[in-house]
Structure 1
Amino acid sequence: MSLIAERHTDLDRPRFFIDGAWAEPRSSRVYHAVEAATGEGLGIAALGGEDDIDAAVRAARTALDHGPWGRTSAAERAAAMRRFADALERRADHTSTLVTRENGMPIQFSQQVNGGLPGVLLRIYAEVVEKLPLEEVRPSPKGSTILRREPVGVVGAITPWNFPQALAMFKVAPALAAGCTVVLKPSPETALDAYVLAEAGLEAGLPAGVLNIVAGDRDSGAALVSHPLVDKIAFTGSTAAGRIIGAECGRLLRRHTLELGGNSAAIFLDDGDIDTLLAGLGGASFLNNSQTCTTQSRILVARSRYDEVIDAVAGYVSAMDIGNPLDPAVTLGPMATSAQLDRVLGYIDIAKKSDARLVTGGGRPTGLDRGWFVEPTVFADVDNNDLLAREEVFGPVIALLPFDTDEEAVRIANDSDYGLAGSVWSADEDRALEIAGRVRTGTIGLNYYELDLGAPFGGMKSSGVGRELGPEGIDAYLEYKAVYASKKYLSA
């Protein structure tokens, strides 16, 4: 059946955005998007093949090498990015609602990260590049060296479904600021909202080929990663996929940034405050229905406070408002897809067969038979070797583990393949800071966990390679060139 014959809603996206225009797909493959809260059809998106990716990459290459973008100044790029931000912000309400329908993100949070954050990031990196010295002159033994920061080139950006707008802009904003051109391959599950970026880019007057968008699956991603005209890959997704991408980029000697999975630990010390923990638990462990790479799904608790924390966390979970994520009162929406629901339920079933103790939850919530809902679930007495403590569940399933000493807490926290996030909860912030310094992770919070857009974000170990966000986030999109010259430039 042809794509056009299958169109059935005004949300359908039958075309790609390539070289500043809407392009007919060269492939007949499509993705049927389903609303996470109802299981009903939402729209149809074309899925790109190798030829579609090739067309997008070539458009980006031409825009970089021969188009106006490759010759813009930092000030000109910053102005274009601010226009882009304005255009996205005018679409914020629609975008937020669409993403919530696609992946189940509670609407109030979606308004922040899908409606507001992309524009914020564009403005941040517009300011970063305006203040960054893109050229400086240093004395050298035979004259001077002109040090230039130049764009790395064509960027292939591959993004997941959990924070589609925000994670796209984690990559697009610094890339544009640096002077790169971009081919964005969004996940099929959130392909519908991705093209809002194209509409806003057109309105902002981005030159043709600067931003290209082709939704696709793993095959499309592989074609982008391996394309000979791509200079850098920026990927957010699973560790398993990241290993494959990293291996290919290594073979090609291609620059890459990989933001991958996690199974992070929250450490609650013997002097921790329960009310502080409960106030911060939403951000640390249940953000976006726990479909977040920074989810602290392991809560390590001082044994003297263990029973108290179990009761408190169970009470917190039982009070969560589960339902349609478009309802502002809802705090826990559905899983993004039926496959993700099956994955989470599978981990719960495995944990039930272990020596861990089910405290609350453990199945589908009563009265929510449509959509991909799962009860927030808490297991106590989990062993750190259990699958629940070793792998990334990517759903609202919490493992509670006791410890006897601070040293044991650090050892358990570090006994993981991952190192992306974490937190330490204590009435003594100096003590918490000392422990945080010994946990091998890219980010960690003291008595709360919330991303700081002004600081670099990324992981250690199997949680990734490189950093995004903060002024440092532009570094991955710049190359250094040293020009050996005469002394006359020293006084220029």
Structure 2
Amino acid sequence: MTYAGLDIAKLLIDGQLVDADGGATYDNINPATEAAIGVAADASAGDVDAAIAAARRAFDETTWSTDVALRVRCLRQLQDALSKHAEPFKAMSTAEVGLPSRISGSTFDRPVEGIGWVADLLEKYEFTQAHGIGQIEQFRSRRWTEREPYGVVGAITPWNQPTQVNLAKVAPALAAGNTVVLKAAPTTPWCASALGKIVAEHTDIPPGVLNVITSSVNDRGEELITDPRVDLISFTGSTAVGRRIMKLGSETVKKCFLELGGKSANIVFADADFATAIGMSTFMVCVHAGQGCATLTRLLLPRSRFEEGVQLAAQMLSMVPYGDPLDPANVMGPLNSERHRDRVEGIVERAKAAGGTPVLGGRRPSRFDRGYYFEPTLFADMPEDAEIVRNEIFGPVLVALPFDDEDDAVRIANDSIFGLSGAVFSGDHERSKAVARRIRAGTMIVDGGIYYGPDVPFGGYKQSGIGREMGQLGFEEYLQIKTLCEPV
């Protein structure tokens, strides 16, 4: 099975591109057309077992964990090979994810560039830190710490930005000296399969160091979580699934590194540039149909300018170009699957049944005969405890809420189980920074800044996750700390 020149219906297990057990496959559905665009390998429990065994052997019996020069070389080979195959990857993202071609370039190019940043970090990273001489009674000891890889990493990735998240996990995990079993989301298997093919055919990464599993069911991920041969689980996805991973991982006291959901607030003060501030929320809630964990889905407006802000938001949302993700004019395509479209629609319908009236949208667009599309949607003045206000929707749905003063805005922003991201806009930059520091969130946009980059850690407070991805902190998530001492 090939797509855009890449054979993508294979698993990668122990260095070999192989069929799933019994040749099992499942259809890969294009969310814009609802048509099957090909098949993916449908791994069995036996395939997962073989992948874990290969990763365990590669970690325990090869020099991968100790050979920094080999790891640097392999990472640079991976970056180079992915760059040469950029166009097929971008085409796959549009076809299986529904990611508009207008933005598929940046969501591929920047993560690939990030591999080089990780390789640079690895070349200069100090794995050993001295802690000097200590004395207890008559005993003097030299103490130091060494960082070493965890072992086998189970990386479970989502469907919204599969290539970006796959690389954000695989690159630092491998750089740190771990071996990896990458398990892709059921609805976006090809981006992971193609990564496996690149590794197998264009790098010197030894057999078993990276294994790639695709499957039509989520059970394959649970097998990774519960297997005692797996030392660490790195997961990106919903908070509900993150809770289950923590429960399952507790049986083996497994480290669980979790990047979970969000319901991020954008606080816009009365003296802010309303067009810029509100535009950030309306753009983010529509780009890729709002399928982003850090999307600013709660728009907090001063009561004195609330109606003005709501009307401006509605006007901006009504102008968002959306439709066929192959059309470069569109910034918004379909939702990723029928199941997810039904979930988003269900939340909106329950908000209507509870008395809410959307200012804009709230339906499947009638102009499309097929595809999992949903209109850009705006609700205003909903109760703060409403489901649509409190729950992550992961769709093109924005909720506007009024606040009375600065303390009230901070209270509303922090009144959430989530704490992934947020934004503050005002005419006083120092005020914006001061308010941003009061928000319990892992990333904060201050007057329009952009935090994304391979060198910047990303993650959340509260039920938005545990740990940080990217940056040096993200690399160190995949390292254990060992303390050593000797007499002097």
Q: Which residue of 2 aligns with 1:144?
A: 142
Q: Which residue of 1 aligns with 2:192?
A: 194
Query: Secondary structure at the residue paired with 1:209?
Result: coil
Letter in 2 for 1:38: T
Query: Secondary structure at the residue paired with 1:127?
Result: helix
CA contact (8 A) 1:45 1:188 kept: no
Residue range with higher mean Cα deviation, 310-319 or 452-461? 452-461
Q: Which residue of 1 aligns with 2:124?
A: 131
1:437-476 Cα distance to aligned partner (Å, 9 max, x none): 1111111111226342222111111111111111111111
Q: 1:379 to 1:437 in 2, by over 3 A?
A: same
Q: 1:10 to 1:158 in 2, by over 3 A?
A: same
Q: Which residue of 2 aligns with 1:374?
A: 374
CA contact (8 A) 1:164 1:194 kept: yes
Runs of 4 or more above 4 Å deviation: 7-13
1: CA distance, partners of 2:208 / 2:255: 21
2: CA distance, partners of 1:287 / 1:429: 27
Which of these residues, 75, 80, 98, is aligned with residue 74 of structure 2?
A: 80
Query: Secondary structure at the residue paired with 1:467?
Result: coil
Letter in 2 for 1:172: V
1:109 maps onto 2:103 in alignment: yes
1:146 Cα shift?
Answer: 3.6
Q: Which residue of 2 aligns with 1:212?
A: 211
1:311 Cα shift?
Answer: 1.2
Map of 1:319-358 to 2, 5 A cutoff? Answer: 319-358=319-358
Q: Which residue of 1 aligns with 2:176?
A: 178
Q: 1:366 to 1:231 in 2, by over 3 A?
A: same
1:190-231 Cα distance to aligned partner (Å, 9 max, x none): 101211211221202211111100113221011001111111
2: CA distance, partners of 1:296 / 1:319: 18
CA contact (8 A) 2:279 2:313 kept: no
Residue range with higher mean Cα deviation, 10-19 or 163-172? 10-19
1:287 Cα shift?
Answer: 3.4
Q: Which residue of 2 aligns with 1:485?
A: 486
Letter in 2 for 1:158: I
1:246 maps onto 2:240 in alignment: no
1:314 Cα shift?
Answer: 0.7
Query: Secondary structure at the residue paired with 2:37?
Result: strand
1:360-382 Cα distance to aligned partner (Å, 9 max, x none): 11112232121111110111111
Map of 1:11-160 to 2, 5 A cutoff? Answer: 13-26=8-21, 29-73=24-68, 75-113=69-107, 115-141=108-134, 142-160=140-158
Residue range with higher mean Cα deviation, 283-292 or 327-336? 283-292
Q: 1:275 to 1:84 in 2, by over 3 A?
A: same
Q: Which residue of 2 aligns with 1:490?
A: none
Q: 1:385 to 1:284 in 2, by over 3 A?
A: same
Query: Secondary structure at the residue paired with 1:176?
Result: helix
2: CA distance, partners of 1:212 / 1:293: 26
1:486 Cα shift?
Answer: 4.4
2: CA distance, partners of 1:482 / 1:359: 59
Stretches of structure 1 that go unaligned for 5 or more consecutive residues are 488-492
Letter in 2 for 1:302: P
**What is the aligned residue count?**
480
1:166 Cα shift?
Answer: 0.5
Once the two structures are aligned, what percentage of the paired residues are identical? 39
> Scaled by the length of structure 2, what TM-score is found?
0.94
CA contact (8 A) 1:301 1:401 kept: yes
CA contact (8 A) 2:268 2:278 kept: no
Q: 1:449 to 1:382 in 2, by over 3 A?
A: farther
Q: Which residue of 2 aligns with 1:222?
A: 222
Query: Secondary structure at the residue paired with 1:138?
Result: strand
1:430 Cα shift?
Answer: 1.0
Residue range with higher mean Cα deviation, 206-215 or 63-72? 63-72
2: CA distance, partners of 1:127 / 1:12: 31
Query: Secondary structure at the residue paired with 1:312?
Result: helix
Q: Which residue of 2 aligns with 1:471?
A: 472
Residue range with higher mean Cα deviation, 143-152 or 372-381? 143-152
1:58-112 Cα distance to aligned partner (Å, 9 max, x none): 1111111112313312x33112101100001111111011111112111121111
Query: Secondary structure at the residue paired with 1:411?
Result: helix
CA contact (8 A) 1:321 1:332 kept: yes
2: CA distance, partners of 1:8 / 1:157: 24
Q: Give the alignment's Cα RMSD to 1 decimal.
A: 1.9
Residue range with higher mean Cα deviation, 339-348 or 7-16? 7-16
Query: Secondary structure at the residue paired with 1:48?
Result: coil
> Scaled by the length of structure 1, what TM-score is found?
0.93
Q: Which residue of 2 aligns with 1:363?
A: 363
1:296-319 Cα distance to aligned partner (Å, 9 max, x none): 111110011111111111111111
CA contact (8 A) 2:17 2:197 kept: no
Q: Which residue of 1 aligns with 2:256?
A: 256
1:162 maps onto 2:160 in alignment: yes
1:272 Cα shift?
Answer: 1.4
CA contact (8 A) 2:266 2:281 kept: no
1: CA distance, partners of 2:6 / 2:75: 26
1:259-316 Cα distance to aligned partner (Å, 9 max, x none): 1111111111111112212543355433321001111111110011111111111111
Q: 1:270 to 1:8 in 2, by over 3 A?
A: closer
Residue range with higher mean Cα deviation, 247-256 or 279-288? 279-288
Query: Secondary structure at the residue paired with 2:241?
Result: helix
Letter in 2 for 1:269: F
Query: Secondary structure at the residue paired with 1:410?
Result: helix
2: CA distance, partners of 1:306 / 1:101: 40
1: CA distance, partners of 2:224 / 2:429: 46
Q: 1:475 to 1:194 in 2, by over 3 A?
A: same
Q: 1:439 to 1:138 in 2, by over 3 A?
A: closer
2: CA distance, partners of 1:476 / 1:318: 42
CA contact (8 A) 1:262 1:392 kept: yes
1:478 Cα shift?
Answer: 0.5
1:14 Cα shift?
Answer: 3.8
Query: Secondary structure at the residue paired with 2:438?
Result: coil
Letter in 2 for 1:125: V
1:175 Cα shift?
Answer: 0.5
2: CA distance, partners of 1:421 / 1:220: 30
1:16-60 Cα distance to aligned partner (Å, 9 max, x none): 110111123226653311111111111111222221111101111
Letter in 2 for 1:368: F
